[in-house]
Chains A and B, each alone.
Chain A
Amino acid sequence: MNVPGLVLVASVAILYSCGFYLLLQRSLMRVVFGIVMLGHAANLSLMLTDAAITLPPLLGGPDGPISDPLPQALALTAIVITFGVTTFLLALAYRVWLGDANDEVPDDLEDRRIGRLSEPEDSA
């Protein structure tokens, strides 16, 4: 495997693992960063589908070697989508922070009530 390929593979692996780690945190900002990293990981893995990714797409001349333009077009669309939704997530996180004055994911009250049903009466 050539060197850019190896660097890409390593980046994708690191981005996925860090992204999922951050996603499982309780702080909303970390969750948002996790989503951003996962988005990058997915876009980079689209780049991995073409071995000649370092070559220019389409502009390699009529006979020259070019890279496959389709994954780049797909990644472009995906970047726009993840960018838009990330902005929305940031706005939501801000809203939660305004409402609760912290950015932790709150508990589900209904679930806690159901959980208490299984406890014996006298301990409550």
Chain B
Amino acid sequence: MNLLLAVPFVIPLLGAGITLLLRRSPRSKQIAGVVTLAAVVVDAVWLLWLTADGTVIASDAGGWAAPLGITLVADPLAALLLTVSSVVLLLVLLYAIGQDIGGLSSATPQTFHPLYLVLTAGVCLSFLAGDLFNLFVAFEVMLTASYALITQAPTRARVRATMIYTVVGLTSSILFLTGIALVYALVGTVNMADIAIKLDGAPDDLRMVLALLFLVVFGIKAAIVPLHFWLPDSYPVAITRISAIFAALLTKVAVYAIIRTQTLLFGGDDVSAVMLWIAIATMIVGILGALVQDDINRIMSFALVSHIGFMIFGLALNTVAGIAGVMVYLVHHIVVQATMFLVNGLVRQYVGHTSLRSIRGLTAVSPALALFFFLPAVSLAGIPPMSGFIAKVALFQAGVEAGGWLTWVGIGAGLLTSLLTIIAIFRVWTRAFWGTPLPDMLTARAELKRGPDAAGLRMMTVTTGVMVGVGVLVAVLGGPLVDLSFTAAHDLLDGGAYIEAVLPGGGS
């Protein structure tokens, strides 16, 4: 049993228990949370170091050899996503703590820290799970924590949003379970490496049905069109730190699951044409939705949907370059999307809401805020030299290499979406950040700066700044990131290293 693989979900679960015990002392709860997540970050970086050359580390829990026991697997893709996710989780927790020490949030519920750590455990286990049922359990751990987190500080709107979110999430979980039952009936195993070997001999039409079923299951959670309707309804309603983490991570975990199942289990060919159509629809529908919204959080949620389309596009190409592009895009988008929501949280702190109808002149209220909005925003739109540009270029290059008329339509849709993203972002910029601030915004700022909340606000601002810095760092490290992605994508499409690590000697 390799302990490195167990740390990312065992430690947060332990931490969740400890924070539950520390009910009376908010400070020690915050310290426990930060220490736990820092340990996860260290572990994730270590795993990334070990797997960066394309090594796959597998570990059997309890010593039960692979097809029988619970297997944990870290390949470069999993380790990379684990690292980025844990860094983002840590920064968002620091932001939340800043909000709490300033008393800026209206009374954080007792359950925030334990639930947040359980969510962390679920996210990390999803990346490391080596069998389908374990992936299901990890998803459930993550989703159950998210159901409870989204109702924090319940208002009527939040309860309504949670209802939709929970019912949709549960439906996709049940379909997932059905999918596992069908796979088990067909090949008699739930270990992914073992399924990959045994599905090779399965009838083509059955494989196609299973591939489509899993695409629907994870597609609901990744919010691909036409299964996206629940996302812009539920994410913006939650409190800032929660929507930041949901938008950054939950949909990406689902994208990761799509990559894992479609490449390893089904070889990707079966549904790639369907996925191209889905990608095109997701990009266009998402960004058109963003253009008519009036609330910054809702705009960002629709933009999130459209950018899931880019990832599906790269995956649909089913080439090494395409999947490498998806990986760069995932890293870029996790960081940038979280930053955008944290900035929106700061806007809400200054103005009290995020509706574009009554915000003006934020640049004059807080120049730092304007900068923090501008950098990730242009990155999201894919303007050079930001990380979004690198990610988009990687995807479009892969598309050009792959060729085919549908791929060209996809590239066209991607370019159009990038243009429309710029329009959506500059709509926010001109309406919220430009112009003379409303008088009550200036008095609100003066009160905020003088009041007892100043320290908390400073911590929130600094954390957001660090997050923006991480976003820039992704662009600076673009070269190594692309190299790593190509190594990982090569292994993913080949599948040999993964299967060999889990089942030494090819199973049987």
Contact = CB atoms under 8 A, between A and B. Distances in A.
B295 interface: yes
Chain B facing A: main interface SS: helix
A23 B171 contact: yes
A103 B170 CA distance: 19
A77 B175 CA distance: 15
B184 interface: yes
Interface residues of B, number: 35
B111 interface: no
Contact of A92 (B166, B175, B182): B166
B181 A45 contact: yes
B251 to A, nearest CB: 20
B154 A46 contact: no
B151 interface: yes
Interface string A68-106: 001100100110011011001100110110011000011
Nearest to A16: B178
A122 interface: no
B18 to A, nearest CB: 22
Interface in B142-164: 144, 147-148, 151, 154, 156, 159-160, 162-164
Nearest to A78: B177
B133 interface: yes
Contacts of A31: 167
Nearest to B157: A109
Contact of A88 (B148, B156, B175): B148
A88 B147 contact: yes
A117 B297 CA distance: 20
Given A85-B144, A85-B166, A99 B184 contact: no
B214 to A, nearest CB: 14
B174 A46 contact: no
Looking at B171, B175, B233, B293, the one whose CB has the most chain A CB atoms below 10 A away is: B171
B6 interface: no
Nearest to A38: B174
Nearest to A77: B137
Nearest to B160: A106
A81 B147 CA distance: 13
A14 to B, nearest CB: 15
Contacts of B14: none
Contacts of A85: 140, 144, 147, 166, 170, 173
Nearest to A37: B174
A89 B181 CA distance: 25
Contacts of A114: 292-293
A119 interface: no
A18 B11 CA distance: 42
Contacts of B207: none
B185 interface: yes
A49 B177 CA distance: 12
B307 interface: no
Contact of B298 (A38, A46, A105, A110): A110
B174 A82 contact: yes
A93 B162 CA distance: 10
B159 A96 contact: yes
A42 B181 contact: yes
Contacts of B162: 92
Interface in A47-63: 48-49
Contact of A74 (B166, B175, B180): B180
A71 B181 contact: yes
Contacts of A92: 151, 159, 162-163, 166
Nearest to B183: A49
A120 B293 CA distance: 19
Contacts of B133: 74, 77
A46 B177 CA distance: 8
B184 A105 contact: no
Contacts of B174: 35, 38-39, 41-42, 82
Interface in B320-334: none
Nearest to B163: A92
Interface of A: 23, 28, 31, 35, 38-39, 41-43, 45-46, 48-49, 70-71, 74, 77-78, 81-82, 84-85, 88-89, 92-93, 95-96, 99-100, 105-106, 108, 110, 114, 117
Interface of B: 133, 136-137, 140, 144, 147-148, 151, 154, 156, 159-160, 162-164, 166-167, 170-171, 173-175, 177-178, 180-182, 184-185, 190, 233, 292-293, 295, 298
24 contacts: A23-B167, A23-B171, A35-B171, A35-B174, A38-B171, A45-B181, A48-B185, A70-B190, A74-B133, A81-B137, A81-B140, A85-B147, A85-B166, A88-B144, A88-B147, A88-B166, A89-B166, A92-B159, A95-B159, A96-B159, A99-B156, A99-B159, A108-B233, A114-B292
Given A46-B181, A81-B137, 8 more contacts: A38-B171, A42-B175, A42-B178, A42-B181, A88-B166, A89-B166, A105-B160, A105-B164
